[in-house]
Structure formats: C-alpha cells, structure tokens
Amino acid sequence: MAEQNKELILSVRDVKVHFQVRQGNTWPWQPSRTLKAVDGVSFDLYAGETLGVVGESGCGKSTLSRAMLNLIPATAGSIVWLGKEMRGASHGDWQTARKDIQMIFQDPLASLNPRMTVAQIIAEPLRTHKPELSNDEVMQRVRAIMVRVGLREQQINRYPHEFSGGQAQRIGIARALILEPKLVICDEPVSALDVSIQAQIINLLKELQREMGLALIFIAHDLAVVKHISDRVLVMYLGHVMELATKEALYARPTHPYTQALMSAIPLPDPELEKAKVIQILQGDLPSPINPPSGCVFRTRCPRAIEDCAKTIPPLHESQPGTLVACIRA
C-alpha cells in the first residue's frame, strides 16, 4: 500500500533533546555545557507500519523514543500524534494519548515490578485507563492476552522472578498490548535474549501487528533483526539522522557511508561470501555529543569526507527512490 493511502499517525519534525551538564570538577559559577542527545530528527509513521531505528550505542535512539512519550521532554521541535501537537501538551492530554502509545523495554525483568504478580502487572494499564471495567472483566482480558502472547493462564499469580527472560518479555508485551494501542515503541526488546528466543519474540510481534493493526517503532543494534521486522529503517549517528529508507532500498543499496559501514558488519550465512566480504572499519572514536564536529557529525570518521563537509549540516534529501540521505556526496 502506498504511503499516501495510509493513515499518518505520528509526525516528528526537527525534534531536539538537549541536556545541561557539568563536567569533572567545574566550579559552581562556571557555565554548564550542552549535551545534544538528539539534534534535529524528523520522520513520519503510518498506521500498521514498522519503522526500525538503528545506530551505535549513544547515538540517541532510546532518548528519541522516550521523548516521543514525554518521559523526557523534548527541547525543541514538533511531535504530532493523530493530528494533535503533543510537545508542551498538558498532563491530561498525555494521559489520554498514552492509551494509544505503549512501550516495551530492553530488560524485561528490570521493567517489571518484582512485588506484583503477573495479573497485577498486566492489569495495571486497564485499571489506570479504564476504571469503569469490573474486576471480572479485567481478569478476563488479562487471561486472554496472556494466552495470546504464549503464556499459560496457570501462571497468572506468579511473580516475575519465576520466569525466564523470554517469558518475562512476553509479560511486558502483554502489558503493552492490553489496551489495544495504535503504536508500540520497542526499545531493544530482544537484545538481552538468546538468539532462539529473539526469533520467537520477533515472530510474535509480527503476528500481533497483523492481527491488531499496530504500528511499531523498533529500536535495535542488530541489523539482521531490523531487516526481518521493519518496513522502513532510520539510521542515527550522534543524535542526527544519516539515512531514512525503505527496507528494500537500504539493504540492497545503502547510500550513506555510515550505513555502508554498518551493513558491511552483518554476518553472511554463505561461508564463501563471508570470507570474500570487505568489512569497512570506522577509524577514530565516536565524538562526544557535548562537543560534536561542525557540519556533518560523521565527517571525522568518514572515508569520503571533503572540506565542504565541515561547513554545513547536510539536510535529508532524496538520493534515490525510497531513500533520504544526509550527505552532500550522496
């Protein structure tokens, strides 16, 4: 389905998340410095679509996801949810919006209250957002969603420490889906799990997405996992978008030098192809977000950088059908 025929549910424009920090043994009267965790990210998300977000640790992926839920306030920019501007919205407006936007966290056990049973954990969103439901109605919905995510009804009164990592993540998925949201933000939901369990969770999310018409924002380090679940992929580096493309375009013809370096590190199942592959190793260290490079933030590690790269921040532009790239040489 063409994007113009889909419902636009989330529009993010030039969102920035900056923090004021003090370094080392600075004196109290010395000014703080600005850490630019997210610095001008823009994208659209459509109903039923999965947007993968990838990049190195510290590039701003998780900060961006939390800004979209107002768990961290955005410093600047626009976050439009279902046609309503949410940056600067009231607590009541966010409370209403959060019925339709839920989150699955990276560490399943750390995200669950150890003093609450599975029934209490999964039912909590219902009791918060739908207080008109009776206890029997709540428990009926809890049992139904438990079965749907692969848990047994007999486990309803157990505590999180009695479950494996994969089972605990299923509890987190059940909690996120109990309200039947329109969007679920998945913040590295499989990175703490074994490979076989990762596949089960990814397949479960895809099945639930088809059944419920969910939109997903899927944050991950593993580009193979992102390829399996995403429709489009957003590549971040040091708080900026380097490339935004359809899955097919990105994996067949990566345009940005940073994307190409990430793609070259993906293991290939064919031993001969893997042996012949040339891995593009990035030189130098990741710059500090407190003191990012001028112009293109990737230029200090880019093998194709020229003098002009230091002068202006390259805007996202279409380099080929289905691909937006922030590179003056693309």
pLDDT in tens, 64-116: 999 999 999 999 999 999 999 999 899 999 989 989 999 998 888 888 999 99
Q: How many CB atoms lie within 10 A of CB 276?
A: 9
Cβ contact 172:104 at 8 Å: yes
User: pLDDT value at position 5?
Assistant: 67
Is the residue at 329 inside a domain? no
Counting residues of the chain whose pLDDT is more than 90, the rounded percentage is 69
Is the residue at 183 inside a domain? yes
Taking residues 294-298, report their average pLDDT.
94
CATH classification at residue 235: 3.40.50.300
**DSSP label at 18?**
E
Taking residues 184-190, report their average pLDDT.
92
Lookup: tokens for 103: 């989150």
**Sheet containing strand 323-325, strands side by side:** 101-104, 183-187, 215-219, 50-54, 232-237, 240-246, 323-325, 317-320
* Strand ranges (E), 50-196: 50-54, 76-81, 84-85, 101-104, 183-187
pLDDT in tens, 197-227: 888 999 999 999 999 999 999 999 888 889 8
Is the residue at 89 inside a domain? yes
Is the residue at 270 inside a domain? no
Q: Which residues of 120-149 are buried (b: 16+ CB within 10 A; e: fewer)?
A: ebbbebbeeeeeeeeeeebbebbbebbebb
Higher pLDDT, residue 274 or 298: 298
User: pLDDT value at position 107?
Assistant: 85
Distance between CA atoms of 160 and 166, rounded to whole angstroms?
A: 11
Is the residue at 245 inside a domain? yes
Mean pLDDT of the chain: 90
Taking residues 42-59, report their average pLDDT.
94
pLDDT in tens, 297-328: 999 999 899 999 999 899 999 988 889 999 99
* Strand ranges (E), the chain: 8-21, 33-46, 50-54, 76-81, 84-85, 101-104, 183-187, 215-219, 232-237, 240-246, 317-320, 323-325
Cβ contact 206:178 at 8 Å: no
With the C-alpha atoms ordered 251, 253, 259, 263, is the resulting torsion angle positive or negative?
positive
Name the CA dihedral angle for 36, 56, 3, 212, rounded to a multiple of 10 degrees. Answer: -110
User: pLDDT value at position 3?
Assistant: 55
Taking residues 134-149, report their average pLDDT.
95
Is the residue at 328 inside a domain? no
Q: 3-state class of 51 per DSSP?
A: strand
User: pLDDT value at position 1?
Assistant: 41
Number of domains making up the chain? 1
Is the residue at 298 inside a domain? no
Q: How many CB atoms lie within 10 A of CB 35?
A: 17
Is the residue at 264 inside a domain? no
Q: Which domain holds residue 227?
A: 7-19+34-253
Predicted confidence (pLDDT) at residue 2 exceeds the cutoff of 60: no
As beta bridge partners, residue 232 has 51, 246
* Strand ranges (E), 170-214: 183-187
- At position 15, the amino acid (one-letter code) is V
